[in-house]
Amino acid sequence: MVVERVHGAGVVRLWRGDITTLDVDAIVNAATRELAGGGGVDGAIHRAAGPELMRELRRRYPDGCPTGGAVSTAGHRLPARHVIHAVGPRWQGGGQGEPLLLDSAWTAALALAAPSISTGVYGFPVARAAPIAVAAVGAALAAPGTPLRLCTIVCFSETDLAAYRQALIGGSSDGGG
């Protein structure tokens, strides 16, 4: 654990590591519209969950999921109980509604843990993606009646972590860790 911040009755936690190892209620995948698996975190989640994950996706969501949306499945062989498959926008320079679509993907996906949607293969600049993500997570945790209590944003690289840390705590000191 690297940084924590309280939002309403909940907590946003920023953590560096492999999201497939988290023993939580749900992790969030950065998926494609086809929900067909892929590289990056999507490939890692499918490898760790086993082939049952793809079978469930094909059976329940044969038409895939639009950009900005999310669907959920069981976690199968993962320690996480559920996987929420969020489809972020591919970065195309910022003039194609990408920030709104990324906010929509985060809002649709909000659960207990999430990777850095759209900032890998899809090329969304992480310095611009992190404030959208942190705002969406904070709003969801502070929403009246939400069952969410802890949301962990999982960053794979030190560079991503620095951008999310900046978005979460700015220049202030953190809880260490």
Residue 51's CB is within 10 A of a number of other CB atoms, namely: 11
* 42 flagged as catalytic: yes
Q: How far is the CB of 111 from ligand APR (least distance, A)?
A: 14
Contacts of 106 (CB under 8 A, 6+ apart): 86, 114, 117, 132, 133, 136, 137
Query: In this chain, which of 88, 102, 151, 161 binds ligand APR, going by CB under 6 A?
Result: 88
Catalytic residue among 23, 25, 42, 63: 42
The residue count for binding ligand APR (CB under 6 A) is: 24
The answer to whether residue 154 forms part of the interface with ligand APR (CB under 6 A) is: yes
Query: In this chain, which of 117, 140, 153, 161 binds ligand APR, going by CB under 6 A?
Result: 117
SS3 of residue 144 by DSSP: coil
Residue 36's CB is within 10 A of a number of other CB atoms, namely: 13
The answer to whether residue 32 forms part of the interface with ligand APR (CB under 6 A) is: yes
Distance, in Å, from the CA atom of 49 to the CA atom of 135, rounded to the nearest integer, reads 29
The answer to whether residue 164 forms part of the interface with ligand APR (CB under 6 A) is: no
Length of the chain: 177
Q: Are 121 and 38 in contact (CB under 8 A)?
A: yes
The answer to whether residue 69 forms part of the interface with ligand APR (CB under 6 A) is: no
By C-beta, is 39 or 125 nearer to ligand APR? 39
Distance, in Å, from the CA atom of 119 to the CA atom of 121, rounded to the nearest integer, reads 7
By C-beta, is 9 or 58 nearer to ligand APR? 58
Residues serving a catalytic function are 42
Interface with ligand APR by CB under 6 A: which residues? 18-20, 30, 32, 38-42, 44, 88, 115-122, 154, 156-157, 160
